[in-house]
């Protein structure tokens, strides 16, 4: 039995001018300005305001990029935009060395949040295993305050890096401790849990009890703004 397969392949060819433009886009602002100044010095016509045809301008581009070399080959954009062409200011942000302190750089809120949570856990009575779990949970909290790793992923992370076998119950117990820290709603796994945790910190009034019930039992209606259905479901006036 014959089988036919249809395969699509998407490629993109770049002109020498497009390649040069891409290189310019990747430059930091100061380098970009310097590049413009160099171009003006090399081409006085740019400085005097003489307008040339596009074809004439293209012919004056860098001789290192020939039309024959580029037009006859397919260029992989992903491989072209490699780390070798990445500006140094971008690479430095991913290769930060704590010993190379930049006093002019403010501390990010992401870092201060983690430090604040770790300081709060220092007053908790934790076993050695619970401290490991706590550190992993805090390290998995994103800049918005949400827990970015699932329970199973945390179990795997700890087993792989610490050679510790942790149960989901142990993870949940420590997670509950961290969720009781400040700010309210920290280490939530989704918006529903975040709102629920915040409401639990509020004084127990009739309004907060109703709000908690709506979030816990009718979050789908709440998120879709089906207020009439919410009124019917929870007997709200």
Whether the Cβ atoms of residue 151 and residue 111 lie closer than 8 Å to each other: no
Question: Domain segments of the chain: what residues?
Answer: 16-85, 109-179, 202-234
pLDDT number for residue 124: 93
> What is the architecture, at CATH level 2, of domain 109-179?
Orthogonal Bundle (1.10)
Of 15, 8, 22, nearest to 73 by C-alpha is: 15
pLDDT number for residue 28: 58
pLDDT number for residue 237: 76
Burial, 224: exposed, middle or buried (Cβ in 10 Å; 0-12, 13-18, 19+)?
exposed
pTM of whole model > 0.85?
no
Per-residue pLDDT of the chain (237 residues; tens, 9 = 90+): 444 555 444 445 555 666 666 666 555 556 666 767 777 777 666 654 544 444 554 555 555 444 444 444 444 444 444 444 444 333 443 344 444 444 333 334 445 899 999 999 999 999 999 999 999 999 999 999 999 999 999 999 999 999 999 999 999 999 999 999 999 999 999 999 999 999 999 999 999 999 999 999 999 999 999 999 999 999 887
């Amino acid at each position: 039995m014959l089988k036919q397969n249809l395969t699509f392949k998407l490629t993109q060819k770049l002109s020498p001018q497009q390649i040069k433009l891409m290189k310019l886009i990747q430059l930091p602002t100061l380098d970009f300005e310097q590049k413009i100044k160099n171009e003006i010095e090399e081409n006085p016509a740019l400085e005097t305001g003489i307008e040339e045809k596009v074809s004439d301008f293209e012919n004056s581009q860098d001789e290192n990029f020939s039309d024959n070399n580029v037009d006859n080959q397919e260029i992989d954009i992903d491989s072209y935009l490699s780390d070798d062409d990445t500006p140094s200011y971008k690479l430095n942000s991913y290769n930060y060395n704590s010993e190379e302190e930049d006093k002019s750089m403010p501390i990010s809120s992401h870092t201060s949040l983690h430090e604040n949570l770790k300081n709060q856990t220092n007053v908790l009575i934790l076993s050695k295993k619970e401290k490991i779990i706590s550190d992993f949970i805090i390290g998995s909290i994103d800049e918005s305050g949400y827990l970015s790793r699932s329970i199973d992923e945390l179990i795997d992370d700890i087993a792989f890096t610490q050679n510790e076998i942790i149960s989901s119950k142990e993870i949940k117990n420590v997670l509950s401790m961290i969720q009781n820290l400040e700010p309210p709603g920290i280490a939530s796994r989704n918006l529903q849990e975040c709102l629920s945790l915040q409401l639990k910190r509020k004084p127990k009034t009739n309004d907060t009890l109703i709000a908690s019930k709506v979030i816990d039992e009718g979050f789908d209606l709440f998120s879709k703004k089906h207020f009439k259905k919410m009124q019917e479901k929870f007997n709200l006036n």
